[in-house]
Structure 1
């Protein structure tokens, strides 16, 4: 039985069981198996009426919703290939993806989205709005079609942190392999229960890891509560009261630094206990704690951290973090709250996952062990290579790019610089992000940016530049004064060798975001775009005296 057959079997076996729950502020709207199956039937009927054939591509342009889920399952079970598109991305960027995919139809959530993509993309295809799709009479539903193992179920375009996005082709076999692995790992973490888990989700379904979480929960089966308004995430989270959710490091870092800033503004004993308790916890975890540490930790938990725990989420049992490595400090901070964070590492090309944390062997700062059936190899240059049934079928209509990515022995070259110790992986950074200043040293920016943010909590984002330059410079965003950045840079420079010292910095007025094109939807920095946007200011830094 394929993963898709299993999902529909769950929907149909108990049609009154909740499958998807939309969170609207303080209200939750539940869609049971019958409702999702009906949405899928109506969509299949629409596709048939529109002349879509099995094997065609169908774009899906919408925010997360029960309708998104119904349309997604319908396109798959119709025998077509889903091209999921991020609804907040620039339509001109989406048009580049569509020119490569050449879909037969595009299903858009709203008229506004439909008009925007129609204006940007001049390809011949029908663009339909959800209201019209779901108004279709299900009587013309042709029914579900069986999918071959090598059928491309989705073409997911890479986030494009640099260069032109490539369409990653993922097959039914990829997800047939992966979903049982995620189900097994979740079962080990959550343990046996008498009622469904409360699982919240806010990351866009158009990306591989988010899609994997959706299909995993539908396959188990367990209801998934989904955000409907990212600007109202705090209220939605309170309404959902989740036991766990999938997130990205940027969100967890923001929570930690936001709480820390408020505690330090308050000052006094609470602020001192906050910092002392965290250091005591870290010494305890490392086996270096003494009597005083245990006393301080106990006191800080009673006075400070229990209250923070209630604010962060009293029902939270654990978190899953992916997309990028999470800092050791932030993983420890949530551990001190009693909310362990389990990391997952993977790329779109690996069906979202390569390694997963083992709850019994979690090491903060590392992203876990290879899932069963997946091989890892680290080259002399420190690049991680991956081989296994989770590897994608190739980049859509880009055979040369596919050959560059997967060598003749079947190893996928991830482009990630890593350290592998006892099978537990640590991500150092992207090889293509290496900065080589005039000194000739190879410098991975990610660990240094993380170190700086620890020294400057008010800094929302930090980006190192300096490739081919005399020294490193730093771009900083956030509500932080230049004097505070200068002080943090001075402390930073005391801890690093000469070639890693920051000699210049610039505090920017605008944060990097997906809306201004400087962050991906998963909160990853678009380094080339950032350097291009601020090229003049960066050049000016090297013509003036900066931080020493």
Structure 2
């Protein structure tokens, strides 16, 4: 799809200013406060953003200098980001789970002058690395302790900003007027599934393009009446693009990055839209299926019947075909018996979820769609500001990532690699000219590293180029496709990593869904054993093996999983096995369990 996309604004800050002019007294943000939630209007938000911007100017920040944010997703993250941009500076993003050494690398590489740190724990990471950070002169903490010098509290910085505003009333407008579209806005560091993280340079023009492109989507996608629930890591580009979409459209957003509170918060907040990573949907799916099984044979038969009826309705809707009277009656019964309860878990007002960051199993997407909880899968990369393809509420096809955003051009290399060209494509990797040249060709095409194909205008991703498995017999296997099928079939699995490159056959490393397997254990006479104990139990292995056999029955022979191992613990961010956006670092996992993988190829070892 190619369409002219232009923005009437010169910067993200100007877009914010216009939003305030149009929606001053409307709710902008909602955030946890005590046992409830507190709201701010757009006008109140803008007052705090202006104070932060001028406070940064007061501590010495100048145009296009970098200020990092080291914090979890919370309202203050957004305030800091918009304050940095309004000061004419650029935001460097750092995951709060990063080690002190990782923080130091990103701060030093980006040459960040200021860091917004969430609390004393995050400040301590910086304090321990201070000798390695000559450019860092000020730390601003949301909840931590001020020392009045190197570390300041956010409210102290805002007070300095208000004082400066009284002294120089025209200064804020001068700062905004000095921002150019091509000025750096954000340095998003890739989470480093391979090699050291790269700083992706995204400008105000990039974000403005994305905001206008989102606004140009079908009118059913985003409306002023929506209420967004935002929990995604704002250090990740997926979270950031949802921030930009809100600024353009003006709907309110409830912000809380605590994933443990997510399910409890949804019935309270009652959002209409929410973006999430596939792992969230997988966990909900596992819980729903296991609860249906625990209800007894009759309840489970009703559940399966309802899912079958819902799947028929889903497929007809995707093809824009009419639904006959008999099926409508059956669906109404299925909805009353099963699906209404699932929708109530999400607050009852949800129009759709957006899924991104990693592939979503089509089977799981169809299950939710059958229940009237639509998941619109999209696709993009850090290097393209995340928003490049998306399914629409009125035009979607499960198993694809949707149609291109307005203004996006797409092409394919000879090997099927997806090439993208639009106004959201990065301006390069920070201080990495060779890597930039490898990713961006002379004609402006960004080489994604993903393999895919267009089907009736929808893009289907088949796999990561670097993840494709080629067995020693010369057969290609797309591991993510096999992994997705396994997750859809087995409600007791957490993560699956299919292995087999240059091997005679495919094997898998499996982690368990801790909550689901614990309930199964109690129901099957294994008591309250730990995850590690259950992973070693023969009945658990037999359970997982039954699902491996079920998946294998639908695969080509060279794709089948010939052997598997259950890992003694789940994958964690702390061990470097998954990214903060819940994407599996395949190579790290394989390296961590080399001996276990070798044990899955005993005949090969003996032959050597």
Q: Same fold (TM over 0.5)?
A: yes
Report the CA distance between 1:468 and its aligned residue.
2.3
**2: CA distance, partners of 1:41 / 1:377:** 42
The correspondence for 1:511, drawn from 553, 561, 570, is 570
Report the CA distance between 1:391 and its aligned residue.
0.7
Assess, with a 3 A threshold, how the Cα gap between structure 1 residues 291 and 239 changes in structure 2: closer, same or farther: closer
Partner of 1:135: 156
Q: Which runs of 5+ in 2 are unaligned?
A: 1-8, 143-152, 166-170, 518-539
Contact 2:232 2:257 in 1 (8 A): no
Contact 1:24 1:229 in 2 (8 A): no
Asked whether 1:362 is paired with 2:393, we answer: no
The correspondence for 1:414, drawn from 448, 462, 472, is 448
**2: CA distance, partners of 1:527 / 1:70:** 35
Partner of 1:145: 176
SS at match of 1:474: strand
The correspondence for 1:456, drawn from 490, 496, 513, is 490
Asked whether 1:538 is paired with 2:548, we answer: no
Any residues of structure 2 matched to 1:83-482 within 5 Å, and which? 83-120=92-129, 122-124=132-134, 125-130=136-141, 132-136=153-157, 137=160, 138-141=162-165, 142-143=171-172, 144-146=175-177, 147-185=179-217, 187-189=219-221, 196-286=225-315, 296-478=330-512, 479=514, 480=517, 481-482=540-541
**1: CA distance, partners of 2:189 / 2:97:** 14
- Decide which moves more: 212-221 or 499-508: 212-221
Contact 1:23 1:228 in 2 (8 A): no
Asked whether 1:44 is paired with 2:44, we answer: no
**1: CA distance, partners of 2:344 / 2:411:** 42
Partner of 1:5: 14
Assess, with a 3 A threshold, how the Cα gap between structure 1 residues 186 and 117 changes in structure 2: closer, same or farther: farther
Aligned length: 543
**1: CA distance, partners of 2:436 / 2:39:** 42
- Decide which moves more: 401-410 or 87-96: 87-96
**1: CA distance, partners of 2:324 / 2:22:** 56
Partner of 2:6: none
Query: What per-residue deviation string (whole Å, max 9, x for no partner) do you get for residues 332-377 of structure 1?
Result: 2222222222222111111111112133321111111111211111
Contact 1:166 1:395 in 2 (8 A): yes
Contact 1:274 1:305 in 2 (8 A): no
Query: What per-residue deviation string (whole Å, max 9, x for no partner) do you get for residues 423-468 of structure 1?
Result: 2001111111112222122211000011122232211111111222
Contact 1:154 1:170 in 2 (8 A): yes
Report the CA distance between 1:93 and its aligned residue.
2.3
Contact 2:70 2:93 in 1 (8 A): yes
SS at match of 1:181: helix
**2: CA distance, partners of 1:443 / 1:379:** 19
Contact 1:83 1:156 in 2 (8 A): yes
- How high is the TM-score relative to the length of structure 2? 0.84
Query: What per-residue deviation string (whole Å, max 9, x for no partner) do you get for residues 454-506 of structure 1?
Result: 23221111111122222211111114511111112222222222221212211
Query: What per-residue deviation string (whole Å, max 9, x for no partner) do you get for residues 312-347 of structure 1?
Result: 331212111121232222222222222222222111
Contact 2:573 2:580 in 1 (8 A): yes
Partner of 2:27: 18
Assess, with a 3 A threshold, how the Cα gap between structure 1 residues 149 and 513 changes in structure 2: closer, same or farther: same
The correspondence for 1:80, drawn from 89, 97, 110, is 89
- How high is the TM-score relative to the length of structure 1? 0.93
Contact 1:463 1:474 in 2 (8 A): yes
Asked whether 1:66 is paired with 2:82, we answer: no
Report the CA distance between 1:412 and its aligned residue.
0.7
Contact 2:363 2:485 in 1 (8 A): no
Report the CA distance between 1:61 and its aligned residue.
1.1
Report the CA distance between 1:219 and its aligned residue.
2.8
SS at match of 1:189: coil
Report the CA distance between 1:299 and its aligned residue.
3.1
Contact 2:29 2:75 in 1 (8 A): yes
Query: What per-residue deviation string (whole Å, max 9, x for no partner) do you get for residues 248-293 of structure 1?
Result: 2111121112111111111232211211221233234445999886
SS at match of 2:599: helix
**2: CA distance, partners of 1:18 / 1:320:** 22
Report the CA distance between 1:22 and its aligned residue.
0.4
**1: CA distance, partners of 2:326 / 2:569:** 44
Assess, with a 3 A threshold, how the Cα gap between structure 1 residues 311 and 401 changes in structure 2: closer, same or farther: same
Partner of 1:28: 37
**2: CA distance, partners of 1:151 / 1:110:** 30
- Decide which moves more: 256-265 or 351-360: 351-360
Assess, with a 3 A threshold, how the Cα gap between structure 1 residues 279 and 532 changes in structure 2: closer, same or farther: same
Contact 1:24 1:228 in 2 (8 A): no
Report the CA distance between 1:14 and its aligned residue.
5.0
Query: What per-residue deviation string (whole Å, max 9, x for no partner) do you get for residues 20-46 of structure 1?
Result: 110357511112234323332332233
Any residues of structure 2 matched to 1:488-503 within 5 Å, and which? 488-503=547-562
**1: CA distance, partners of 2:268 / 2:33:** 9
Partner of 2:148: none
Alpha carbon RMSD of aligned pairs, Å?
A: 2.4
Assess, with a 3 A threshold, how the Cα gap between structure 1 residues 158 and 316 changes in structure 2: closer, same or farther: same
Contact 1:162 1:527 in 2 (8 A): no
The correspondence for 2:588, drawn from 526, 529, 540, is 529
Report the CA distance between 1:111 and its aligned residue.
2.0
Assess, with a 3 A threshold, how the Cα gap between structure 1 residues 308 and 55 changes in structure 2: closer, same or farther: closer
